[in-house]
Structure 1
Amino acid sequence: MSAMDIDTPSVRDKGKGKVRATPQNGESDNLPWVEKYRPKTLDDLVSQKDVTSTIETFIDANRLPHLLFYGPPGTGKTSTILACARKLYGDNFKSMILELNASDDRGIDVVREQIKNFASTRTIFSSGFKLIILDEADSMTSQAQAALRRVIEKYTKNVRFCIICNYVSKIIPAIQSRCTRFRFAPLESEQVDDRLQTVIRQEGVNITEDGRAALLRLCNGDMRRALNILQACHSAYDRVDETAIYNCTGHPHPQDIERIVTWMMSDEFSTIYSNVEKLKREAGLALQDIISEIYYYILAIEFPPDMRIFLLENLAEIEYRLAEGANENIQLGALVGAFKQALEIAASAS
C-alpha cells in the first residue's frame, strides 16, 4: 500500500450518507482533486501524445517557439504547459514564469504593464528565456490582443509566450501567425477512465459500475469535470451510483428523459406540457439540459428520417433561443409543438 492510500481517512455519518474527511497531511487534503492529481510531468499526461512529443523535441533542441494551445475545456492544455515549465526550469520554475488568467486580466493595461515589465527583463540566474502563460486568452479584448502583437515580437530573446484558449477563432490572426498552434482534442473515455481509476483507488471511492459509466458519459471527454463530479459525489454519498451522479450534477436522469419522450409521442398537448412542467419543478431540471439529453435520445432511437431531421432542427432552434434569454415556458411549448408536428410528418409519410 502506498503512502497516498492512507493519506485521507474519513469519518462517515451513516445516518445522513455524508463523508467527513479527517485532515492528516495538511494542505494536500484540502486541495480540489483537479489540483491534487494534476500531472507533474509530460509523461504523466494521459493524452495528446502527438502534442507532447513535438513540444519535447522543441525543448530538447532548445528551440521552443511561441505556443498557441486551443481545444475544449479539461483536455490538458494548462497541465501540458506547466509540465513543460517544470521540464525547462526544474523545481524553481515558478520564478521563471508569469501565469495570467486573461478572463480576469484581459485589458490593454495588463499587456502594457504586467506582461511588458516581465518580458522586458532578463533573469540573472539563467541565460535562457522566461515563459508567459496567458490562460483563457479568448476572453482578451481585441485592443489587448493588438497590443500583444508587438510585445511578442520585440521581446522574443527574453520570453516565450504560451497562449491558451477554448475558441481559436477569437484570437486575432496576427497573434495566431506568430505562434505554433496545437489543437487539444476531447479525451477518449478510456483515457479518462484510466486516470479516474487511479484517483478512485487513492481516495477509496466506493463507486458502482453504473455510476462510473454515468460519470464517463457526463464528463464528455473533460477530465476536470469528471474529477469535480467524482469529488462532489464522494463527499455527499457513501456509495456513488448512477443516481448519485445525476443528483450531484443536477442533470436529467435517463429514465426521466425516456418518460418525457414517451409523453411527447403519446399524450395530448396540455397533458404533456403540465407533466413536463411538474417534472422540471420537482426535479429542479433546466429545459436546456432536457433538450441536450433529448438530442442524444433521438440519435439512439429509430425514427423515420424526415421526423428525425425535423426534430433536430427544432431542438437546435429552441436551444439557441434559450441561450439568447428566451422564456423557458414558451420554449417548452415550442418543444411539445415540435414533437406533435414531427408525428404529423411521420403519419403523412406513411
Structure 2
Amino acid sequence: MGGEIVLCRPKQVKDVAHQDEVVRVLTNTLETTNCPHMLFYGPPGTGKTTTALAIAHQLYGPELYKSRVLELNASDDRGINVVRTKIKDFAAVAVGSGSRQGYPCPPYKIIILDEADSMTEDAQAQCFATHNGNLLQSYKILFHLIIEPLASRCAKFRFKPLSEEIMSSRILHICKEEGLNLDSEALSTLSSISQGDLRRAITYLQGAARLFGSSISAKDLVSVSGVIPQDVVQSLFAACKSGDFDSANKEVSNVIAEGYPVSQMLSQLFEVVVEADDISDEQKARICKRLGEADKCLVDGADEYLQLMNVASNTMRALCNMPQDSYE
C-alpha cells in the first residue's frame, strides 16, 4: 500500500452516485440528445461537476470531446471579457451532426461553467449572446447569485447533500478497493468532518493514507483535516460557562498559540451551542448572533484573537445571564 488513492470520474450519467432523481431525468434527456441549458446547484462534493462532464463524455466520446466541450472555472475566469472572447469564440463556429464510434454527437457544443455564481452580473448577462453553448453549471449552493434572466433560461437540477449512511458506504467501498483499514469510530469521524462532501472525505482519506499507512484512526483523520479536536472546543465552551474571564482568555490564547483556524473554531462552537440541552433558545440565539458577526469580520480580515475573544466574552454573558453590551 503506497498511500496513493487514484479515483476516476464516471463517464456515464447513470454511474453518478446517489442523485437518483437527477440521473433519471438526465438519462431520459440524453436518449433524445435534445439537451436544454442546465443549471446544477447544491452543496460541494455531491456530483455536479462529475455529472456535467459525464454528459459531455456520453454525447461526444473521446474523439470529439476536446473540440466540442469548453470547461471554465468561473471563479477564476469570471469577468465579461471571458464571455466576449473565450466563450463567444468557442460557440461561434457551427458544428455538424452525425454519430461517431457509437456516440450521438449532436450538432451543438457544450460549455461548462464551474462556480457560475462567481461570475459578475455583466458576464452572466453577456451569456445571453452565446446561443450555441448548452450547459451552465453553478458549483455552490449560492443559487440566488445567478441572475434571474439567466436562471429562467435553464432547466434546474438540485443535487442533494449526501447522508452519513451514503458517505460511509462509499468510503467503505474505497477502503476495500485500496486496502485501507478504518474502524467504526474512524468511519463515523470521517463522515462527520466531511459534512456531506464526498470529495472532501476522499481527500482526507488520501492524506491520512499517505501519512499513516493502511491503518487509519479517527485521530489520524482529525489531524489531516484541519478540524479542531473536540476537547479543545469543549474546553473553550466550558470556560465560557464558568463565568471566569481569565479562564476564557486562557483558552482563547491556547487556540491562537496552537495555530487552529478561528473560523473553524466558530463553526464547531456553533455545533456545540446548537446541540446543548442545558441552555435556552434565547441564549443560543444571542451566542449564534455573535458567531455570525465574528465570522463576517474574519472574512473581512479582522484579527483572529480579538474576534474569538469577542465571541468568548459574549458567550459568557449569554450563558451567565449577564447584560449584553449597551450598543446592542
Q: Give matches, 1:70-85, under 5 Å.
A: 70-85=41-56
**CA deviation profile, 1:312-344 (whole Å, cap 9, x unmatched):** 222222222222222222222212212321233
Q: Which residue of 2 aligns with 1:321?
A: 297
Q: Which residue of 2 aligns with 1:234?
A: 209
Deviation of the 1:288 alpha carbon: 1.7
Q: Which residue of 2 aligns with 1:100?
A: 72
Cα distance between partner residues in 2 of 1:336 and 1:101: 39
Q: Give matches, 1:179-194, under 5 Å.
A: 179-194=154-169
Letter in 1 for 2:153: R
SS in structure 2 opposite 1:68?
A: strand
1:309 paired to 2:281: no
1:120 paired to 2:92: yes
Q: Give matches, 1:1-350, under 5 Å.
A: 9-10=1-2, 33=6, 36-92=7-63, 93-124=65-96, 126=98, 128-152=107-131, 155=132, 159-166=133-140, 167-238=142-213, 239-266=215-242, 268-282=244-258, 284-305=259-280, 306-345=282-321
1:108–1:144 CA contact under 8 A, matched in 2: yes
1:69–1:165 CA contact under 8 A, matched in 2: yes
Deviation of the 1:273 alpha carbon: 0.5
**Residue range with higher mean Cα deviation, 108-117 or 65-74:** 108-117
Deviation of the 1:124 alpha carbon: 4.4
Cα distance between partner residues in 1 of 2:86 and 2:298: 39
**CA deviation profile, 1:33-87 (whole Å, cap 9, x unmatched):** 4xx2322222221122111111111121232101111122111111011111222
User: After the TM superposition, which parts of structure 1 deviate over 4 Å for at least 4 consecutive aligned residues?
Assistant: none
Q: Which residue of 2 aligns with 1:6?
A: none
Letter in 1 for 2:179: G
Deviation of the 1:267 alpha carbon: 5.6
SS in structure 1 opposite 2:40?
A: strand
**Residue range with higher mean Cα deviation, 250-259 or 304-313:** 304-313
Cα distance between partner residues in 2 of 1:254 and 1:37: 34
1:307–1:346 CA contact under 8 A, matched in 2: no
Cα distance between partner residues in 2 of 1:125 and 1:180: 23
Q: TM-score if structure 2 supplies the norm length?
A: 0.87
Cα distance between partner residues in 2 of 1:56 and 1:321: 45
Q: How many residues align?
A: 312
Where in structure 1 are there 5+ consecutive unaligned residues? 1-8, 11-18, 22-31
Letter in 2 for 1:315: L
Cα distance between partner residues in 1 of 2:150 and 2:315: 46
Letter in 2 for 1:115: I
2:74–2:113 CA contact under 8 A, matched in 1: yes
Deviation of the 1:188 alpha carbon: 1.5
Cα distance between partner residues in 2 of 1:267 and 1:162: 52
2:235–2:251 CA contact under 8 A, matched in 1: no
Where in structure 2 are there 5+ consecutive unaligned residues? 99-105, 324-328
**Sequence identity percentage:** 32
**Residue range with higher mean Cα deviation, 270-279 or 228-237:** 270-279
SS in structure 2 opposite 1:162?
A: coil
1:273–1:332 CA contact under 8 A, matched in 2: no
Cα distance between partner residues in 2 of 1:345 and 1:99: 54
Q: TM-score if structure 1 supplies the norm length?
A: 0.82
**CA deviation profile, 1:75-109 (whole Å, cap 9, x unmatched):** 11110111112222234333321112222222223
